[in-house]
């Protein structure tokens, strides 16, 4: 035991583990459920959700653990999964034994590619199905069309990513301006809600 912990559990704990608002805690759970419907685990969603809203440059193992209230083993495995799929990256600081974790700011192209992996698998399977058929019929026509479409659109998506890179700056400016204008509305809404 060190002298700090004797001086009271919440004295400087609050600095290392800043309390999360109910909204944020709720978001973490929602993120968990969403990741579940995407075929990942609830815990990966919780951890990723925490990392993107925690307002820290990077969070420590125990900060994550505290925020999502899970066991060390669970956090350890979950972080590995998230790093494996490149959703999270680890960083470290000199003179600090801890590892810190933060969301990877994956490029749009990478995001789209991982999405396309499943599509490719599906499309390949349909093509194989067609090759196994012993007659040509409506189904084999459909199988051909669908797998051709996916092949075609795979190429087209790559073009779109390039196009996005060229237009994104102006596009994002528009969006941010729209947001500023909405800000007044939000303040007005809050006043209404609090009345």
Q: Which residues pair with 60 in a beta bridge?
A: 100
Q: Quick one: what does residue 77 bind among DNA, a second copy, none, with the CB cut-off 5 to 8 Å set by partner type?
A: DNA
Residues 31/46, Cβ–Cβ less than 8 Å: yes
| Residue 152 binds a second copy, judged by CB under 8 A | yes
Compute φ and ψ for 19, nearest 5 degrees.
-65, 140
Q: Do residues 15 and 66 lie in contact, with contact meaning Cβ atoms separated by under 8 Å?
A: no
**151-158 — which CB contacts under 8 Å span 24+ positions?**
151/123, 154/116, 154/119, 154/120, 157/112, 157/116, 158/109
> Judged by CB under 8 A, which stretch of 62-70, 88-96, 133-141, 187-195 contacts a second copy?
133-141
Nearer to a second copy, 5 or 182 (CB): 182
Nearest CA-CA partner of 102 in 58, 61, 166: 58
x/- string (CB under 7 A) for DNA, residues 53-72? -------xxx------xxxx
Of 10 and 39, the one with the shorter C-beta distance to DNA is 39
Using CA atoms, how far apart are residues 88 and 103, in angstroms rounded to an integer? 4
Cα(55)–Cα(51) distance, rounded to whole angstroms?
A: 8
Residue 135 makes contact with DNA by CB under 7 A? no
Give the binding-site size for DNA (rule: CB under 7 A). 25
Q: Closest separation between CB of residue 133 and DNA, Å?
A: 24
CA angle 158, 89, 37 (to 5 degrees): 65
List residues binding DNA (CB under 7 A): 1-2, 36, 40-43, 60-62, 69-74, 76-80, 95, 97-99
List residues binding a second copy (CB under 8 A): 23-24, 27, 30-31, 34, 37-39, 49, 52-53, 55, 57, 102-103, 105, 108, 111-112, 115, 118-119, 121-122, 125-126, 128-129, 132-135, 137-139, 142-146, 148-149, 152-153, 156, 160, 164, 168, 171-172, 175-176
């Amino acid at each position: 035991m060190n002298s700090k912990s004797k001086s009271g559990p919440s004295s400087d704990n609050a600095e290392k583990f800043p309390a999360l608002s109910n909204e944020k805690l709720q978001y973490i759970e929602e993120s968990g459920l969403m990741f579940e419907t995407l075929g990942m685990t609830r815990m990966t969603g919780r951890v990723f959700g925490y990392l993107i809203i925690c307002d820290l440059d990077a969070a420590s193992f125990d900060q994550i653990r505290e925020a999502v209230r899970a066991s060390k083993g669970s956090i350890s495995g979950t972080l590995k999964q998230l790093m494996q799929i490149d959703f999270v990256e680890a960083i470290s600081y000199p003179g600090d034994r801890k590892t810190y974790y933060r969301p990877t700011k994956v490029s749009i192209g990478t995001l789209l590619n991982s999405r396309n992996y499943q599509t490719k698998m599906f499309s390949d399977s349909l093509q194989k199905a067609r090759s196994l058929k012993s007659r040509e019929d409506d189904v084999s026509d459909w199988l051909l069309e669908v797998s051709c479409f996916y092949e075609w659109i795979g190429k087209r998506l790559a073009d779109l990513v390039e196009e996005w890179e060229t237009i994104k700056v102006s596009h994002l400016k528009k969006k941010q301006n729209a947001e500023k204008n909405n800000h007044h509305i939000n303040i007005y809404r809050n006043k209404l809600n609090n009345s």
